[in-house]
Every structure is written in C-alpha cells, then in structure tokens.
Amino acid sequence: MTEILLSLGPRKKVLEIGTGSGYQATILAQLVEKVYSVERIKPLQEKARERLGKLGIRNVRLVHSDGIIGLAEFAPYNAILSAAAPHEVPEELLMQLAPNGILIIPVGTSDDQELRVITRDGESLNFREKVSQKVRFVPLVEGLSN
C-alpha cells in the first residue's frame, strides 16, 4: 500500500484507518508531512502512542475513533490508506479526499477481497477506480472498543 502511495507522487497529509501497532504510521511519518491515524481499539491505540513517543515521532496524530467514518475534522487528505476491509467503499472516506487525492483500501468479504486504488478527479466529485490485486485483511467494523 505504501509503495502504491509513493508511486503516485508526493502526499502531504495522510489518513490511516487502523493504527494497530503503529508500524505503518511510523513508516508514513518518514515519508509525508502529517499522518492522522484512527484506531477503534483503545488499548492498541495507547500502545501505538507509547511506541511512537519512544521513537520520537511527532508528526503523527492518533485518534480513538470509528475508522469507517474517517476523520472529517482534519480533512481533506491527500491520501487515505485503510488496513481493514469494508464490504463496500465508505462514502465518508471518498468525501474526505482532497482534489487529486487517493484512497487505497481493501474491499470485499473475508473470502474475497481486492485492493482498490481510487483517485479523486481534480476538484470534481468524480472518482477513478482500479483494482490492484487480491488481498486478505481484517474486516472494517463499525463502533468503538475500549
């Protein structure tokens, strides 16, 4: 996912859906100006915050929130990467893309997922979509977990 992101040009502000351990956020922090990362499971978010602090990473903002709705208060994003697969692309994420922004997201059921790369066409609300490859990610579920 990071390779796809980088191949499409520089990105200043990125939203990551699914912080997990903080690994991807750490990588992204080296490559873009600002990373916002959403995690629905509070203990995972707290551990990631601790790791990022120990590494001295200061350009990542971690938020305990429901990833399926994104993080509208800091939108628009030049790119959004999701580490979990919804059955369909959430409209909320598309609406948080900046002009020419990209959304990289696995989509499908637990048995049949594909990684999609969706690009916003300039200032319009038109989107171009291509399938990158078959993948298998955890499902993107709604709600928070403490």
In this prediction the pTM is 0.92
Residue 38 covered by a domain: yes
pLDDT score at 74:
96
pLDDT score at 95:
96
**pLDDT tens digit string along 84-131?**
999 999 999 999 999 999 999 999 998 899 999 999 999 999 999 999
| CATH number of residue 93's parent domain | 3.40.50.150
CA atoms of 129 and 111, how far apart (whole Å): 21
Order of strands across the sheet that contains 97-109: 60-64, 34-39, 13-17, 77-82, 97-109, 112-120, 127-135
Residue 146 covered by a domain: no
pLDDT score at 34:
95
Residue 49 covered by a domain: yes
* Residues making up the chain, counted from first to last: 146
Residue 145 covered by a domain: no
**pLDDT tens digit string along 12-22?**
899 999 999 99
Q: How many domains does the chain have?
A: 1
Mean pLDDT of the chain: 91
pLDDT score at 65:
92
Residue 2 covered by a domain: no
Average pLDDT over residues 68-95: 95
Residue 144 covered by a domain: no
Burial class of residue 111, CB neighbours in 10 A (0-12, 13-18, 19+): exposed
